[in-house]
Structure 1
Amino acid sequence: MENYGPYFKALRESKQLTLREVEKATDVSNAYLSQLESGKIKQPSPLTLHKLATYYGVSYELLMEKVGYPVPGKQEQARISTGAAAHRIGEISDEEEVELLNYLKFIRSRKK
């Protein structure tokens, strides 16, 4: 994925988190997170990706792959961490994944 910033933003927003909340939980500065989401960070460190993957509840390998790192021994992975949904909808593109995360954010915001 060439411009992965919207993906990171959609991940955060789908969980209804602010940059400050992510900063507090991961020790990754909100300024860095903002730059990551806007695409100004071209190659985030694997350590940062690991912290975000753990906090967001997504696969570390998936984030590594999204930003362009080679993932040795990569096995076929579901693009969505909720296994049952992934089996029902099948393979999705990166753009569809961002849209699904944005839609999930919308649905969760209506429940408030």
Structure 2
Amino acid sequence: MKSLGKTLKDSRELISLTLRQVEEATGISNAYLSQLENDKIKKPSANVLYKLASLYNVELDSLLYAAGIIEQESPQKNKLLNTIALSAEKLTNDEEQALLDYLKYLRFSKK
């Protein structure tokens, strides 16, 4: 399996974009993109991966898998993660924190 950085760099180069062009299209700084491509950042947010997958025209699942965020292709789980990634872009900070608190509650209430 290729690393996330290698996957991102290969995908970007395949469509002949510079880091600056990706920055302009996504709002993700070219310094951050460079760190991603050099595997200095191993697990970016699903929102960042969604933006890059959309621009690079690659499956979000392949980037989530390369980042180690999801395990091998599970259609049910991938559908949920795709939905979360799409929804996360519009969350306020309070909504994001409430979701994280609720997830913690769900995980710890089962024990």
TM-score bin (small chain): 0.5 to 0.7
Partner of 1:88: none
Partner of 2:4: 4
Partner of 1:45: 45
Residue 16 of structure 1 pairs with residue 26 of structure 2: no
Residue 34 of structure 1 pairs with residue 73 of structure 2: no
After superposition, what is the alpha-carbon deviation per residue over 1:13-61, rounded to whole angstroms, capped at 9, x for unaligned? 1111000000000111000000000010021110000000111111111
Q: If each structure's helix is expressed as a fraction of its own residues, which one has the higher value?
A: 2
TM-score (norm 1): 0.61
Decide whether the 8 Å contact of 2:12 with 2:56 is kept in 1: yes
CA-CA distance at 1:5 after TM superposition: 1.1
What is the aligned length? 75
Decide whether the 8 Å contact of 1:22 with 1:28 is kept in 2: yes
> Secondary structure at 2:58's aligned position in 1?
coil
Q: Distance in 1 between matches of 2:12 and 2:34?
A: 11
Gapped regions of structure 2 (runs ≥ 5): 76-111
Gapped regions of structure 1 (runs ≥ 5): 76-112
Q: Distance in 2 between matches of 1:23 and 1:61?
A: 22
CA RMSD of aligned residues (A): 1.9
